[in-house]
Amino acid sequence: MSDSARLALIEDDPGIRSHFAEIVASMADVRLVGSAGSVAEVAALLLLQPDLWLVDIGLPDGSGLDLIPRLKTANVARVLVITSFGDRQTVVRAIAAGADGYLLKDSSSEAITEGIRVTLDGGAPISAAAAVYLLERLREAPPPTPAPLNPDEAALTAREIELLHCFAIGQSYKEAARTLGISPHTVGNHVKSVYRKLEVHSRAEAIYEAVQGGQLRL
């Protein structure tokens, strides 16, 4: 693309903003293409399609957290959060929102410089204090996809999954039939197929097995 990366800055404090601007200016291969001091001002920056956003969380007219999804969808930009908020909730929400890095404001200029460079390079710089919360989350969230753990369990068809959903919310054969727009007799046939595939003999067990096998989510 271009010889230098295009960077945009979102930070309300003028002092910190100029501080960051200096840091960026000292980097040969990064160019500051715009900055905003509030959520409202960000709209204009979106048109510039920067490669990287430096985002503060605490803005006067809103939270930078809400901005992140928009920044990520505007183009393929990366987002590096630099904030003084180091609490669990903010950190987790920022990452969930799509942030590619999370640095605390007490980071050194060198750390920030390195963070910018690394983020542009596909890395994810995380301040150690913030990472603690992320590790906690990772440990308590077992496998994100406990689904494909059934090598043998036969695959259910879309229709069959729909039917199980109906059953899960308490519908009877008749009700499920109306929901799916088919005859109650046909419901019975689908039931047979499901039971045969899952090797069960009741709706409760079918739902259990389907959930275990990752084919159904409640």
**Chain positions contacting DNA, by CB under 7 A:** 155, 157-160, 172-174, 180-186, 188-193, 195, 201-203
67 lies in the site for a copy of itself, by CB under 8 A: no
What does 189 interact with, of a copy of itself, DNA, none (CB < 5 to 8 A by kind)? DNA
85 lies in the site for a copy of itself, by CB under 8 A: no
DSSP string, 99-162: -SEEEETTS-HHHHHHHHHHHHTT---B-HHHHHHHHHHHHHS--S---S--SSSPPPPHHHHH
55 forms beta bridges with 10, 81
Question: Looking at beta carbons only, is 12 or 153 nearer to DNA?
Answer: 153
- Strand 58-59 with 62-63, pairing: antiparallel
List the structure tokens of 75: 């183009």
Q: Minimum distance between the CB of residue 174 and DNA, rounded to whole angstroms?
A: 6
Question: Looking at beta carbons only, is 2 or 145 nearer to a copy of itself?
Answer: 145
In sequence order, what are the residues at sequence separation of 6 or more whose Cβ sits closer than 8 angstroms to the Cβ of residue 104? 82, 83, 84, 86, 127, 129, 130
Question: Looking at beta carbons only, is 18 or 203 nearer to a copy of itself?
Answer: 203
Question: Is residue 41 a contact partner of residue 60, using CB atoms and an 8 Å limit?
Answer: no
Question: Looking at beta carbons only, is 56 or 160 nearer to DNA?
Answer: 160
Given the rule CB under 8 A, which residues bind a copy of itself?
A: 92, 95-96, 98-101, 115, 118-119, 122-129, 131-132, 134-135, 137-141, 144-145, 167-170, 172, 200-205, 207-208, 211-212, 218
